[in-house]
């Protein structure tokens, strides 16, 4: 056995493999640097176009993952690995992961639609998937809403997108709906005049449109007034509670009797 020839062959093989490994490391380092450079360039270009920050993160993540897959496939091809089989393996893994994470991927897709269609943005007061509050974050998979009682609620984007979304911040004002029960003996016109004047004095109530006070319904206790001031959504709850107080104070100052149910009793002999 020629040990010198074996050693020479082994040295040649080790040298070739070592050079390939060094070359692969160089390709990996340079490739990662180029990927970072490309992602930063794309982000800078989108930022100049005033693209939403959430969409920027979406695009950055997708581009990073896609380019990293291309880089890995290129390195494997450099080592002589059959990349066609690898691509088929990746596709199979993608199908398996997609089946296992269908709900998560559904949230991701819904998040993309939320970013593109923009039914709401951070800072808007909304009602989505049964939760009402201020949007604090629109994420890749979930949206965070802070409710009026200061509870953070995290909702899956898929549930939000498949349900009704109400955005109270889109329009310049919204209506506060309250009602006022009167006794049968109260002059309805007098009550309407007093309430309109009192509502106009509530802070943050819109002058245009002016508050609505009108006859809404009748009950066994007497007429019911619809009391509807308008305000910006930021002041909704303040105006809501102030309206309740104004109704009570106005009727009390006018000396209106408390509404009572009136029954007529007839005696037959």
183 lies in some domain: yes
Contact yes or no for 31/74 (Cβ under 8 A): yes
Q: Would you place residue 146 in the very low, low, confident or very high pLDDT band (cuts 50, 70, 90)?
A: very high
* Within a domain: 263: no
Domain with 11 in it: 3-100
**Number of structural domains found in the chain:** 3
Q: What distance in Å separates the CA atoms of residue 214 and residue 72, rounded to the nearest whole number?
A: 72
pLDDT band at 213 (very low <50, low <70, confident <90, very high): very high
Same domain, 14 and 75: yes
Stronger pLDDT, 43 or 10, i.e. the higher one = 43
Position 193 in a domain: yes
Q: Are residues 178 and 137 in the same domain?
A: no
Task: State residue 246's pLDDT score.
Answer: 96
Q: What is the mean pLDDT of residues 36-41?
A: 82
Percent of the chain's residues with pLDDT above 70: 78
Using CA of residue 106, residue 108, residue 111, residue 113, what is the dihedral sign?
A: negative
Is 260 part of any domain?
no
> Other C-beta atoms within 10 Å of 247: how many?
22
Q: How many residues does the chain have?
A: 269
């Amino acid at each position: 056995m020629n040990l010198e020839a074996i050693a020479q062959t082994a040295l040649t093989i080790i040298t070739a493999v070592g050079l390939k490994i060094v070359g692969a490391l160089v390709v990996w380092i340079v490739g990662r640097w180029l990927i970072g450079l490309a992602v930063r360039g794309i982000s800078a270009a989108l930022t100049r176009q005033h693209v939403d920050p959430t969409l920027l993160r979406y695009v950055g993540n997708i581009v990073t993952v896609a380019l990293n897959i291309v880089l890995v496939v290129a390195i494997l091809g450099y080592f002589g690995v059959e990349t066609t089989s690898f691509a088929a393996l990746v596709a199979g893994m993608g199908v398996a992961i997609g089946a296992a994470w269908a709900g998560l991927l559904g949230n991701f897709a819904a998040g993309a639609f939320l970013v593109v269609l923009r039914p709401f943005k951070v800072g808007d007061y909304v009602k989505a998937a049964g939760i009402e509050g201020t949007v604090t974050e629109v994420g890749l998979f979930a949206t965070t809403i802070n409710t009026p009682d200061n509870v953070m609620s995290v909702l899956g984007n898929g549930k939000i997108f498949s349900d009704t979304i109400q955005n109270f911040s889109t329009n310049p004002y919204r209506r506060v709906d309250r009602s006022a029960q009167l006794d049968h003996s109260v002059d309805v016109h007098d009550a309407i005049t007093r309430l309109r004047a009192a509502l106009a004095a509530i802070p943050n109530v819109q002058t245009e449109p002016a508050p609505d006070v009108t006859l809404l319904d009748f009950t066994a206790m007497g007429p019911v007034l619809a009391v509807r001031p308008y305000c910006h959504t930021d002041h909704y709850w303040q105006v809501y509670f102030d309206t309740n107080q104004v109704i009570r104070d106005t009727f009390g100052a006018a000396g209106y009797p408390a509404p009572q149910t009136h029954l007529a009793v007839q005696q037959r002999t």
